[in-house]
Amino acid sequence: MKIRIAPLTCIAFLITWTILFQPAHLAAQSSLNDSQIRDKATSLLRQMTVEEKVAQLAQLPGMDIPDSSENEKRPLQEILKQNGAGSILWISDPKEINRLQHVAVEQSRLHIPVLFGLDVIHGYHTIFPAPIAMASSWDPKMVEEAQAVAAQEARAAGIQWTFAPMVDIARDARWGRMVEGAGEDPYLGSAIARAQVLGFQGKQPAAPDHVLACAKHFAGYGAADGGRDYDSSYIPEEQMWNTYLVPFKAAVDAGVGSLMSAYMDLNDVPATGNRWLLHDVLRDTWHFQGFVVSDAFAVHSLMIHGYARDPQDAAHKAFTAGLNMDMASGTYLKYLPIELQQKHISMPQIDAAVLPILETKFRMGLFEHPYVDESRLEPTLNDPAHQQLARSAAQRSIVLLRNQGGLLPLDKNSQSIHSIAVIGPLAEAQADLLSMWGAMTKPAPTVSILQGIQAKAGSAMHVEFAHGPNIRRDNPSPFEDIAMISAVVQEQPAQSQPQRQQSIDDAVALARRSDLSILVLGELDLMSGEYASRSSLKLSGGQEELLEAVSALGKPVVLVLVNGRPLDISWASDHVPAILEAWYPGSQGGNAVADILFGDASPSAHLPVSWPRNSGQLPLYYNHNLTQNPETEPDFHSRYQDLSSLPLYPFGYGLTYTTFAFDNLKVTPTGRVDGAKIEVSVDVTNTGARPGDEVVQLYIHQRAGSASRPIRQLKGFEKVTLASGSKRTVHFTLGKDELQFWSPTVKTWVVEPEQFDVWVGEDSKAPLHSEFQLTN
């Protein structure tokens, strides 16, 4: 069926003319205002056939994909020529992007450019620390700068849309995708979400050198049953509003141009077909004006979920729920025209879905500048300032968990340490410092931790390396089959038991003849991320054995962790004097770790998650409710009979090379419940001998009300730099945004006239306390 709505008009001719003769070197940026954009998009829409409209609702896969989809097997250029396409994903090569864009713009009837999307999650070429690491910096400004560089590099390669930020709250470290988000807390998560949206998009998605952002995965993906990726989430409405939706709302308020629907069932309705999420919350309540893309194949998967009876029903359910674009499954392309013909959906519904996609393309200047100037790519990627930023971002993201006896920082001129053994299966790793998405683009050469230490030690110290046992996933990751990833990922071959023992013995022998050992242990990149949930958080593949054997020598040991989630380091935290959490630190990871180890930079990061003792404690989060047997009671032991129920390290925790004192906490409430403003101030003093950064954190607790409230909730933070001995007064204001919550008894947002506690300090256990009363 081919319905022609209108013949080509003069406007289309003008568009064509502009496209064909525009100077390719100009940075993409629209010169149109919002009402001109709406007019242009509406006028273009009027000229489109049904097939051309539906094509805008499709995102075509730019690489080979499994057959369990509805995609046509024709070459992309033929599909583009016929009706165009809304978007193409999984292509990172600017030449190929330009080639396909030329087909869409010059050979399709209406010359509508394609939006090219890719997972530029924490860098395109310069890879920044993984998102959980950047969240550990508690430094939104740095995060914004890093994602602005990621956007600049991606845009120089022709990518106009990134599938980031991932803003899923994650409270269960078994879930592999904890690495991609900002951890467990909605307040910190919102600050990091906002920073990422601004970094990617600039002031608006049309800003030059920026990309359209996509907040994902809407919503509740992090609460998968048992931490098993893709499993159903069951989240009561009050938790949705107070916790899981909060960072999405922050992203929407920051102007995010698109959202991605999640894979899993939310309360028995798959997120991709969930009208409550996509329509009632997103459009009706938040007034979101952009568009929503599904996660990959998720429209087609509605059938596999047992929610849709066949692919047409899947297209119907996703479309009528409010999903604009079908990522990679081909289901919309094939079935929406049939749905329309059978009058199950209407033309105004189709138009409403297409309009924000066309508007986005106009807003981003794609009609004016559809092509990428390939000559700008190399100079952009090779800008030395990008690597510099990656190094300081990594320094600011590494958490010092333990430093007994002040073992760190190491002194190059030490009288007792002349030789260092660098040991472990991640010590010479490069791609593994990037995490899975970092490996998917065009990563710059990575500095391994071994290289970083060697460069830093120079001739002052003797550095030797032993690999220790190889580590591997127990079952393979499906991402190993993706060419872009397998080209970069470095697999460690399987070992027999005698080979593994030999590798441990060799490492212990090296440690024995060295003055100090630095063990670099953790998870390979594909051991965290999508399809990478774990039932156990233990250091796998003989790493724990290696650590204990080296520690048994009685010489100083530093443990550096490279991983995407908290691991079970209970033994280490009792026996290993110094522990650094490096996460996946990115391209400059090795240099940044060495900077911290040798004191050229001081650690300043704090945990964005509560660190569990083992996986039996999961899910674990600091902002849980009180019970009739609170942890604060003097006779409280544990909620388990065999393990403390408290985390190994609390949310917000992190050490540095100096110490800070907090005092003079002042709380001044003004106004009544409506329009209340609570001014909070505290003095922070650097009481140690070195300069350092402190993350000043403010927590509140509402003592009574229409619902039980969490024992503590983060409601303010600021990262401050203080010279030794200096003092600074830090100010916070608590207003409606901080005091309100969605009450399950009144089914709406409330600020209640109740008594509140306030704590300020360096983590979620901060003892410095005050209180205030809100009055009617």
- Answer yes or no: are the C-beta atoms of 464 and 514 closer than 8 Å: yes
Residue least distant from ligand BGC (Cβ): 163
Say how far apart CA 197 and CA 119 lie, in whole Å. Answer: 14
Q: Are strands 265-266 and 269-270 parallel, antiparallel or unpaired?
A: antiparallel
Using CB under 6 A as the binding rule, whether residue 295 contacts ligand BGC is answered as: yes
Please tell me the distance from the alpha carbon of residue 19 to that of residue 22, in angstroms, as a whole number: 6
Which residues, 129 to 168, sit near ligand BGC by CB under 6 A? 163
Q: How far is the CB of 727 from ligand BGC (least distance, A)?
A: 45
Residues 93-132 that bind ligand BGC (CB under 6 A): 119
Which one, 88 or 711, has the nearer CB to ligand BGC? 88
For residues 163 and 732, which CB has a smaller minimum distance to ligand BGC in the complex?
Answer: 163
Is the N-terminal amide bond of 409 cis, ω within 30° of 0? yes
Between 329 and 395, CB nearer to ligand BGC: 329
* Residue indicated by tokens 């409405």: 237
Rule CB under 6 A: say whether 293 interacts with ligand BGC.
no
The smaller minimum CB distance to ligand BGC, of residues 259 and 421, is found at 259
Kindly state the DSSP code that residue 67 receives in the 8-state scheme.
S
Using an 8 Å Cβ cutoff, are 499 and 506 in contact? no
Nearest distance from C-beta of residue 216 to ligand BGC, angstroms: 6
Contact 447, 391 (CB under 8 A): no
- Measured CA to CA in angstroms, residue 666 lies from 72, 529, 644, 662, 695 at distances of 66, 43, 34, 12, 18
Q: What would the two tokens of residue 248 be? A: 């999405």
Check residue 530 for interaction with ligand BGC (CB under 6 A): yes
Distance, in Å, from the CA atom of 112 to the CA atom of 95, rounded to the nearest integer, reads: 19
User: Is 307 near ligand BGC (CB under 6 A)?
Assistant: no
Residue 158, φ and ψ in degrees, nearest 5: 95, 0
Cβ proximity to ligand BGC: between 138 and 175 the closer is 175
Minimum CB separation from ligand BGC for residue 47, in Å?
31
Helix (H, G, I), strand (E, B) or coil at 295: coil
Tell me the pairing of strands 258-261 and 214-218.
parallel
CB of 618 to ligand BGC, least distance (A): 21
Shorter beta-carbon distance to ligand BGC: residue 182 or 296? 296
Q: Is 323 helix (H, G, I), strand (E, B) or coil?
A: coil
Instruction: Report which secondary-structure segment, H or E, holds 761.
Output: strand 755-761
C-alpha to C-alpha distance for 238 and 741, rounded to whole angstroms:
9
- 592-611 positions binding ligand BGC, by CB under 6 A: none
Judged by beta carbon, residue 271 or residue 567, the one nearer ligand BGC is 271
Query: Which positions ≥6 away from 356 have C-beta within 8 Å?
Result: 289, 290, 291, 324
Cβ 530 to ligand BGC, closest distance in Å?
A: 5
Query: Taking CB under 6 A as the rule, does residue 216 contact ligand BGC?
Result: yes
**Which residues within the stretch 448-467 sit at the binding site for ligand BGC (CB under 6 A)?**
none
From 168, 295, 432, 525, active-site residue: 295
Residue 291 in the binding site for ligand BGC (CB under 6 A) = no
Between 163 and 218, name the residue whose CB sits nearer to ligand BGC.
Answer: 163
Which of 28, 37, 104, 296 binds ligand BGC (CB under 6 A)? It is 296
Cα-to-chain-centroid distance, residue 694: 23
Contacts of 235 (CB under 8 A, 6+ apart): 220, 223, 244, 266, 267
Cα–Cα nearest to 348, from 46, 58, 82 = 46
Question: Helix, strand or coil for residue 263?
Answer: coil
# binding residues, ligand BGC (CB under 6 A): 6
Shortest approach of ligand BGC to residue 91 CB, angstroms? 12
**Taking the complex as a whole, how short is the minimal distance between the CB of residue 119 and ligand BGC, in angstroms?**
5
| Cβ distance to ligand BGC smaller for residue 340 or 431 | 431
* Minimum CB distance to ligand BGC smaller for 153 or for 530: 530
Q: How far apart are CA 633 and CA 371, in angstroms?
A: 65
Query: Least CB distance from residue 439 to ligand BGC, whole Å?
Result: 13
d(CA 66, CA 85): 20
Residue 321 amino acid letter: A
Alpha-carbon distance of 48 to 516, in angstroms, equals 70
In whole angstroms, the minimum distance from the beta carbon of 163 to ligand BGC comes to 3
CA 267 to chain centre: 24
Nearest to 594 by CA among 454, 403, 405: 454
Residue 326 touching ligand BGC (CB under 6 A): no
Could you confirm whether 763 is annotated as catalytic? no
Minimum separation from the CB atom of position 375 to ligand BGC (A): 28
Active site residues: 295
Residues lying near ligand BGC in the complex (CB under 6 A)? 119, 163, 216, 295-296, 530
